[in-house]
């Protein structure tokens, strides 16, 4: 008996009628694979790579320029710490359906939540300014004036996070991680001695000097920052990830953390193989590192470094205002979410708009003291990070809150060691900064 299938192309209908599965065209297969990829990638990848911002790139470039490959071994240790912290934040978001600031307010009171909120607002504003400075510097290497590039970038970021949906914004955030692939290519163009690189990764090479200690602490501080945990937990909640999807989200967090720190390692390799070898030991910022690469690794390496800086700055410039808006909305109980329009979540959208506007205006001021600004932000982050990590650890270990998903004994010891070590380094950086 013949029958008709409506709404399908004739060829597909015929194959269905004959009992055969329709073959997807190459373009359809590509689209299906991209959908699966976007379904897997999300908060973990975005948060970890947002940490590789303009300040982070400058720090990693300074490590490579001053000490070559000597600090590569610590990237392995930091990667483990980053995975532990990010996994706890993502797990709390999936199990409780609440952001970190909201849980702090409910479990420990408004005062601690307000302290975290104020600190995040100050720190994120400072870093946001540096990201727009990074955008201007990256495009400045292509002779685009910052007075054109920075306002246009700010408008695009604002339209993405205020006028777009969460799904669209998240996909764009994921796409913004593509420029990070420029750094491995730049490292290959630098022609490092790969056997030495592998040896330095496996065998620690420690120097008991103040400069080595300072960059050691700064590298840990720029790789694990408070806004990353705050963002990943709130983003997991907004994405609607529940306990049933926890294993997939855990795999996404791990892969995102590994990728982000591989990128950081390649930045160290690229600058170590060029700037360190040729005695160019001082790097003022990420754009300076890109310019310094050209004489030793060629113009392509400089361009790739600039592309990576632009992508990193754009991603962080979008994530930081959103994180601050999440924290303020969760602390005071306001409506939140990237998918909400201004009339639905006025405070959430207002915070995003204010941070982008202030960051843009200050970044355009001639002679803005970026280095001093970054130092000041490091101080704020140095105070906030131990507090944030303590709450992440204690809340993730709370069986009344997390049930069967609370930290187990072994993971609890690893998490406690991570929190204590990272907090100690953060406070040590704070002391070193105040000591000049």
pLDDT tens digits, residue range 316-326?
899 989 999 99
Does 89 have pLDDT greater than 90?
yes
Record: fold of 48-434? Amino acid/polyamine transporter I (1.20.1740)
Alpha carbon distance 252, 156 (integer Å): 27
Res. 29 pLDDT band, cuts 50 70 90? low
pTM reported for the whole predicted model: 0.84
| Domains of the chain by residue range | 48-434
Compute the mean pLDDT over every residue in the chain, rounded to the nearest whole number.
82
What average pLDDT does this structure show over 134-142? 86
What average pLDDT does this structure show over 404-428? 84
The tens digit of pLDDT for each residue in 338-379 reads 878 888 889 999 999 999 999 999 989 887 666 566 656 666
The tens digit of pLDDT for each residue in 190-214 reads 889 999 999 999 988 888 777 787 7
Res. 75 pLDDT band, cuts 50 70 90? very high
Q: At what angle do helices 110-140 and 346-363 cross, to 10 degrees?
A: 40
């Amino acid at each position: 008996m013949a029958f008709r299938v409506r709404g399908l192309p004739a060829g597909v209908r015929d194959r269905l009628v004959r009992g055969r599965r329709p073959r997807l065209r190459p373009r359809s297969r590509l689209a299906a694979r991209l959908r699966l990829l976007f379904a897997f990638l999300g908060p973990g990848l975005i948060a970890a790579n947002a940490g590789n911002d303009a300040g982070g790139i400058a720090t990693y470039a300074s490590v490579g320029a001053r000490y070559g490959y000597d600090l590569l071994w610590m990237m392995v240790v930091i990667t483990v710490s980053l995975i532990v912290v990010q996994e706890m934040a993502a797990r709390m978001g999936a199990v409780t359906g609440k952001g970190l600031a909201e849980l702090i307010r409910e479990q420990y009171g408004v005062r601690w939540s307000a302290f975290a909120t104020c600190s995040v607002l100050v720190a994120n504003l400072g870093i946001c300014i540096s990201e727009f400075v990074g955008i201007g510097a990256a495009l400045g290497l292509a002779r685009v004036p910052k007075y054109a590039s920075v306002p246009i970038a700010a408008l695009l970021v604002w339209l993405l996070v205020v006028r777009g949906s969460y799904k669209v914004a998240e996909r764009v955030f994921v796409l913004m991680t593509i420029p990070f692939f420029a750094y491995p290519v730049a490292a290959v163009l630098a022609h490092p001695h790969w056997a030495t690189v592998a040896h330095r990764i496996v065998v620690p090479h420690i120097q008991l000097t103040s400069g080595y200690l300072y960059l050691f602490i700064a590298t840990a501080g720029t790789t694990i920052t408070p806004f990353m945990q705050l963002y990943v937990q709130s983003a997991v909640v907004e994405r609607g990830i529940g306990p049933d999807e926890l294993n997939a989200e855990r795999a996404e967090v791990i892969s995102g953390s590994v990728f982000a720190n591989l990128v950081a390692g390649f930045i160290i390799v690229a600058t170590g193989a060029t700037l360190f070898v040729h005695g160019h030991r001082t790097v003022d910022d990420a754009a300076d590192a890109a310019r310094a690469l050209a004489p030793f690794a060629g113009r392509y390496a400089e361009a790739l470094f600039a592309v990576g800086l632009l992508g990193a700055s754009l991603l962080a410039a979008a994530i930081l205002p959103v994180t601050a808006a999440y924290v303020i909305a969760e602390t005071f109980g306001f409506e939140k979410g990237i998918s909400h329009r201004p009339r639905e979540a006025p405070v959430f959208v207002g915070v995003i708009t204010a941070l982008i506007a202030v960051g843009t205006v200050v970044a355009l001021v001639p002679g803005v003291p970026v280095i001093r600004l970054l130092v000041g932000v490091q101080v704020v982050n140095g105070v906030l990070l131990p507090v944030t990590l303590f709450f992440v650890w204690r809340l993730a270990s709370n069986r009344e809150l997390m049930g069967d998903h609370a930290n187990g004994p072994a993971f609890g010891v690893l998490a406690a060691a991570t929190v204590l070590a990272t907090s100690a380094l953060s406070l040590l950086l704070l002391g070193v900064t105040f000591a000049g």
